[in-house]
Each structure stands twice: as structure tokens, then as C-alpha cells.
């Protein structure tokens, strides 16, 4: 049984460890925990890891956020992975920093990465994990906020939530989305 784990973000040092790249950071942490290593491949950096006999194809798209669908479709088709076995990890300004939310489907909510995936796949019926980044920015400064680095005061909770996100991906792979949702969605993460 194969899974496709997708970390959304933008490549390049200027984007490293920004709010918008939290999907990359989560999936990278998942890969490292399971002793995988990333290699440059078609439309993405890719790693393959196994968890209790299940194969996870992990990708960090190199297409930039707005074209994420191209990488997702390519690897989904190449590895013959069912829509329900995809987990897309992304930032979400509609959720406070203390929250993670897993859903089996849903709208793109204005997120360019999800918009691209939806357009390319022709559906919104694929699982996603939204990593709350909050929305503490002045009117008209959303892009600066999401492309900005975490505040020093936020870093401990971000680190904790990355660990919890990795555990949630493991639960999704081993026990299914319903269990992952039940264990994650109602939690408030704090130090």
C-alpha cells in the first residue's frame, strides 16, 4: 500500500523556514525521522520511506507553490497512488498558530498550492493537513506575513507542532484519516 506525502512550499534560501514553507518543513521532518533521504527528481525532491510495511513516497515540489498540482499529479500517476492515500501538508492563515486541522477534502480557501492541485486533479477530494500560522498582519500585508520567518517567540510551538504533524502523518498512514482527524483536530497546542 502506497501513500503520497506532499509538503507544500517554495524552493530557495529566501523561502527557507518561512510560514509558507511549513509544509516542506513538516514533510522533511517526517523523512528524517524515518531515515529517508531526499533526491532531486522530476518536479520534486523525493524520498521513499517505509513504515510498518507501508511505503510513503514523500515529495517536496520544486515547481513553486502556484504549480504544485503538476508535481502531485506526476507522482500520483507514476506511483499509482489513490487519491485517498495522499496527504498534502500546508500553511493556513485561517487557523491560529495553536491548531492543526486534517480534512479528507475541502476548498482551497485561497491557498495557491491547493488551487493548483485542485485544477490539475479536477477534484477537491484528497486529504490535507492545515498547519495554523495565524493571521497577525496589517491589512494588505498577507504576502509579507506568510513569506516571513517565524518570530523567536513562535519557534518553540512551531517545533512542537512539527513533531505532532509528523505523528499525525504516521497515524494517517497506519490507522486511516478518521483516527488521524480524531487525534489531531480538537487539540490546542501550547507549551
Active-site residues: which are they? 20
Q: Taking each helix axis from N to C terminus, what angle separates 68-79 and 112-121, rounded to the nearest 10 degrees?
A: 50
User: 8 with 22: CB under 8 angstroms?
Assistant: no
Please state at what angle helix 155-175 crosses helix 177-184, rounded to 10 degrees. Answer: 150
Number of other CB atoms surrounding residue 71 within 10 Å: 27
Q: What is the secondary structure of 55-118 as a DSSP string?
A: EEEEEEESS-GGGHHHHHHHHHHHHT--GGGEEEEEEETTS-TT-EEEESS---TT-HHHHHHH
- Other Cβ atoms less than 10 A from the Cβ of 105: the count is 12
* Cβ-count burial 144-175 (b if 16+ within 10 Å, e if not): ebbeeebeeebeebbeebbebbbebbbbbbee
> Is residue 126 within 8 Å of residue 85, measured between CB atoms?
no
Amino acid at each position: 500500500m502506497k501513500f503520497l506525502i506532499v509538503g507544500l512550499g517554495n524552493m530557495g534560501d529566501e523561502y527557507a523556514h518561512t510560514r509558507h514553507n511549513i509544509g516542506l518543513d513538516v514533510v522533511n521532518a517526517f523523512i528524517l525521522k524515518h531515515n529517508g533521504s531526499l533526491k532531486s527528481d522530476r518536479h520534486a525532491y523525493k524520498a521513499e520511506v517505509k513504515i510498518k510495511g507501508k511505503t510513503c513516497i514523500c515529495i517536496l515540489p520544486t515547481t513553486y507553490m502556484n504549480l504544485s498540482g503538476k508535481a502531485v499529479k506526476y507522482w500520483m500517476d507514476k506511483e499509482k497512488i489513490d487519491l485517498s492515500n495522499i496527504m498534502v501538508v500546508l500553511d493556513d492563515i485561517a487557523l491560529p498558530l495553536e491548531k492543526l486541522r486534517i480534512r479528507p477534502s475541502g476548498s482551497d480557501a485561497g491557498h495557491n498550492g491547493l488551487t493548483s492541485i485542485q485544477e490539475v486533479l479536477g477534484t477537491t477530494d484528497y486529504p490535507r493537513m492545515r498547519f495554523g500560522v495565524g493571521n497577525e498582519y496589517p491589512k494588505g500585508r498577507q504576502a509579507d506575513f506568510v513569506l516571513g520567518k517565524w518570530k523567536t517567540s513562535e519557534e518553540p510551538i512551531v517545533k512542537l507542532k512539527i513533531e505532532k504533524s509528523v505523528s499525525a502523518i504516521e497515524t494517517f498512514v497506519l490507522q486511516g484519516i478518521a483516527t488521524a482527524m480524531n487525534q489531531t483536530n480538537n487539540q490546542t497546542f501550547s507549551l
